[in-house]
Amino acid sequence: MRREKEKIAVLVRAIPEKGKRNGEGHAVGVTGINEDGELLRLYPLRFRYGEGLVDFKKNDLLEVTVTRPENDMRWESRKVLDYVNLEKPAKDREIKEFILPLVTSLEKLNVERASLGVVKPELLDIEVKINSLEIFDRQQYFDMMGDFLEKGEKVGMPVEIKYIFRCEGEEACRGHKIVLLDWELNEAVRNIVRGDKEPLAVKRKIREQLFDHLKGKELYFIMGTHFIYGTWLITGVFCPEKESVNQRSIFDFRQKRTVTEMNKGKQEHPVLNR
């Protein structure tokens, strides 16, 4: 199969999975955006549990060697053969510039038969279901997440969170209720559970942190479809920091960059071509 190299900015780190070959090692999936502004689903980025967690995070720039997967026909999917962390994380402002042109609605994504996308939600409510308040170690938690995904949501996570929202700017949107699988936010939930064992108190704190706090923020959902069932999942949440009055807007950034490129007589991507 043809091998290609892509330079991508990490938007989402998925929940790590135990290796399927001999049960050794772990793998993590990534949603990233490449130099052409395309969303890509990248899997597997391998690491060994116990030798340190995944050596990259959101906003990091990776150079990945990829090929087309044999068992995943979604056109955005790539099989990762190798990767290198370029140790040059992008700022939220730069990531925002990447994703703004991609913002759409689930209604349009369905028409396009896409399996990845970005929506700007109008948050209406949050649904929190507590299946267990026991503290799971990382491996047990990852296994439960794997069961949750592979069995089509028939096996419950310790705490299940669903956002109820409308796609901002989409007249045809009648609202959605979709499960959250964002790794970082689910870790925030685990921290809440560590500190409180009373279900109503846990639900209240989750609502405060993951709904009330986010409702007043600039918020984007990174959406992806379930591998088997094709249903939409919230795989990541992007909540950029507010820009101060002294900061340039992304439009000024682009305009000034274009003028600079014209003066230099060359084109240069501000993030990926560092």
pLDDT value at residue 173: 97
187's tokens: 């870790």
C-alpha to C-alpha distance for 5 and 15, rounded to whole angstroms: 24
- Identify the three-state secondary structure at position 127: strand
| Higher per-residue pLDDT: 149 or 171 | 171
Neighbours of 193 (CB within 10 A): 19
pLDDT at 121 over 50: yes
For residues 206 and 189, the answer to whether their CB atoms sit within 8 Å is yes
pLDDT digits (tens, 9 = 90+) for 179-199: 998 877 777 887 888 888 898
Helix segments in the chain, DSSP class H: 92-99, 106-112, 138-150, 183-195, 199-207, 213-215, 250-264
Q: Which DSSP letter does residue 208 get?
A: I
pLDDT digits (tens, 9 = 90+) for 63-108: 999 999 888 888 899 999 999 999 989 999 999 998 999 999 999 9
The pTM score is: 0.79
For residues 235 and 224, the answer to whether their CB atoms sit within 8 Å is yes
223's tokens: 């959406």
pLDDT at 253 over 60: no
pLDDT at 252 over 60: no
For residues 80 and 141, the answer to whether their CB atoms sit within 8 Å is no
pLDDT at 248 over 70: no
pLDDT value at residue 21: 56
C-alpha to C-alpha distance for 165 and 174, rounded to whole angstroms: 9
Average pLDDT, the chain: 80
pLDDT value at residue 157: 65
Strand segments, DSSP code E, in 20-120 are: 26-34, 39-47, 61-67, 77-85, 103-104, 116-119
* pLDDT tier, 242 (very low <50, low <70, confident <90, very high otherwise): low
Distance (Å) of CA 179 to CA 172, 228, 258: 21, 16, 40
Q: Angle between the 199-207 and 183-195 helix axes, to the nearest 10 degrees?
A: 140
pLDDT at 2 over 80: yes
Q: Where in the chain is the domain with CATH 2.40.50?
A: 1-89, 102-241
- What is the pLDDT averaged over residues 22-43? 84
- What is the pLDDT averaged over residues 116-130? 96
Radius of gyration of the chain (CA): 19
Lowest mean pLDDT across 19-23, 55-59, 145-149, 187-191: 145-149
pLDDT value at residue 259: 36
Does residue 44 have a cis peptide bond before it, meaning omega lies within 30 degrees of 0?
A: yes
CATH number given to 1-89:
2.40.50
CATH number given to 102-241:
2.40.50
C-alpha to C-alpha distance for 233 and 177, rounded to whole angstroms: 10
For residues 220 and 103, the answer to whether their CB atoms sit within 8 Å is yes
pLDDT at 162 over 80: yes
